[in-house]
Structure 1
Amino acid sequence: MPLIRNGSGTSEENEHDGGGGMIAATSASFQHDCQTKLAAQEGVSQEAYPRWITQKFEPDGRLLPFPGSTIICPLSPESALHRALLRLYSDLQGTEFASLYAMLPPTSWHMTMFEGVSDKIRKPGLWPESLALDAPLESCTTLFKQKLRDFDLRTEPPFRMAIYGFEPLEDGIALRVVPASPSEERRLRQLRDRLSTLLGTRYPGHDHYSFHVSVSYMLRYLNKQQYKDIWSFLQG
């Protein structure tokens, strides 16, 4: 079963052996989507920092506590994808724009199966409907453990994913992965639906959640030239 990661750094359930595959270049249509999003951002008022800075990281890149529970599929260190990401990781650290990002350690690389909860984000839909919004995080963790203890996956890992390209450079650098077939898409979406019903949370965009593997978080907003330079680097 996918691994359940909680804010204490421990985990429940069994580890999933992530699939492999080399990083592929994005399609022309996906690259166009990213360029369109960048153009739409120009002239729009922004916060001082990208959304996860001051929540997951300090502006200087230091890690902040971000307690909660998330259901993830760890990326196997034995996979071809992990080896390819290690090369990207090393290359990124040697670039002139390395200071723009907080790099995630390779031991943390994973694909999120279901978002779960965060102690810092308590809103209807993002917090179990059976708990008060001010309930202690420990109560939520206990509830999740109870509900997941006898949960039947109805489907067995591994989950077969294909590389689609890189996500738009909005929160950081992340590899977008998609189910490898229509049947794989159905079983992943159905599993997410069942987890949502079981745990009592449903994030906006649940039906169209974009599976991904994050490599770094952006510490500050990119200007147009930085965006182009980094995007060009990722395509190289």
Structure 2
Amino acid sequence: MRTHTPGIDRRTALAGLLVAGAGATLAGCGSGKEPTPSAASEAPYPVDGRTPLAAGPGKKWDIEGNAQRFTGNTFVSPIPQNSAFFRAENQAQRLVRESRFRDHFALLPHNSMHMTVFEGVNQSQLGTPDWPAWLAGKDMQAAHLAVLDAVSRANITAPRPITMRVDGLVQPLSKGFGLKLASVDAATETALRDFRRRMQDLLQMSTKGFDTYTFHSTLGYRLVEQAADENDESQALEKKVLELFTGDAATVTVDPVAMNIFDDMLAFPQLRVL
């Protein structure tokens, strides 16, 4: 099994999407019949004796780390590519890529680095109780337009600037690969939580984990489970990763929050900056 960091040439069509208010046509993103969750797609299956985690039918990646079609919308702040934090994220990915765990992860391309501020809807929620009632009967393309129209009409603005500090890993490398981010001060935290509440009141997204949401920047997805005899080396790698985020790299002022759409995890074209 080999993890790839796929090129994004095929995603350039997304960058040319034309959006003009509620009448926009989001060509090539979320169009056509969307897959719906099924018991078969959620069932784990062994690969080389390991159970897949973030890989398999209906998920964001296949078992070799290739991006699969996974459509949705979200509200994120890109990581500035001229920041020390961004450079440290790249170095952290390199550490994993050069480790014995390189085949265990799908790493995000650098242009996809971001901090999620508010989650929209995605294809895995279609036909489930997590799909907002006001979007009933809409496919992903129609949902993109409806969410964009609602946000545009409400003219909601996000706080800025938003400066975050590294607060460890979201979870151990045995489970995933992402940095936990915390607000640098109480004012920023209050502003972010207030923004999330206003967005929730407007869009009525799933409330699962809303009040306990952890801000984070994902670097990669663990494709397969970690074996018990790999724990010590995995923990040593975690320490090396966190040592990168010191000095100027310990904090980051993220770019403004925007509504984004995605067809996979390789690109997040912006529709509206908030």
CA, structure 1 residues 65+154, in 2 after alignment: closer, same or farther (shift >3 Å)? Answer: closer
Q: How many Å separate the matches in 2 of 1:115 and 1:147?
A: 15
Conserved in 2, the CA contact under 8 Å of 1:177 and 1:213?
Answer: yes
**Could you tell me which residue of structure 1 aligns to residue 68 of structure 2?**
64
Q: Indicate yes or no: 2:101 matched with 1:93.
A: no
> What is the distance in 1 between the residues matched to 2:175 and 2:190?
27
The separation in 2 between residues aligned to 1:114 and 1:104, in whole angstroms, is 19
Aligned to 2:235: 231
Aligned-partner SS, 2:167: strand
Corresponding pairs, count = 195
User: What amino acid sits opposite 2:145 in the alignment?
Assistant: T
Following TM superposition, by how much is the alpha carbon of 1:150 offset from its aligned partner in structure 2, in angstroms? 3.3
The yes-or-no answer on 1:161 pairing with 2:164 is yes
Is residue 140 from structure 1 mapped to residue 143 from structure 2 by the alignment?
yes
| Unaligned ranges ≥5, structure 1 | 1-7, 13-45
Look up the match of 1:109: 113
CA contact (8 A) 1:52 1:171 kept: no
Equivalent of 1:47, from 44, 54, 65? 44
Please show how residues 75-90 of structure 1 align to structure 2 within 5 Å: 75-90=79-94
CA distance in 1 between partners of 2:52 and 2:175 (Å) = 6
Q: Distance in 1 between matches of 2:157 and 2:125?
A: 30
**Contact preservation (8 Å) 1:127, 1:200:** no
Q: What's the CA shift for 1:227?
A: 3.4
CA deviation vs aligned residue, 1:184-227 (integer Å, no higher than 9, x gap): 11111111111111112133110110111111111101122323
Which residue identity lines up with residue 161 of structure 2 in the other structure?
P
Opposite residue 210 of structure 2, the aligned amino acid is H
Matches of residues 10-29 of structure 1 in structure 2 within 5 Å?
10=15
> What is the letter of the counterpart of residue 151 of structure 2?
L
- For residues 128 and 113 of structure 1, do their structure 2 counterparts lie closer, same or farther at Cα, with a shift above 3 Å needed? same
What TM-score do the two structures reach when normalised by structure 1?
Answer: 0.75
Q: CA RMSD of the aligned region, Å? A: 2.2
Q: Which runs of 5+ in 2 are unaligned?
A: 1-12, 20-42, 46-50, 241-274
Task: Give me the identity figure in percent.
Answer: 24
Residue in 1 aligned with 2:202? Answer: 198
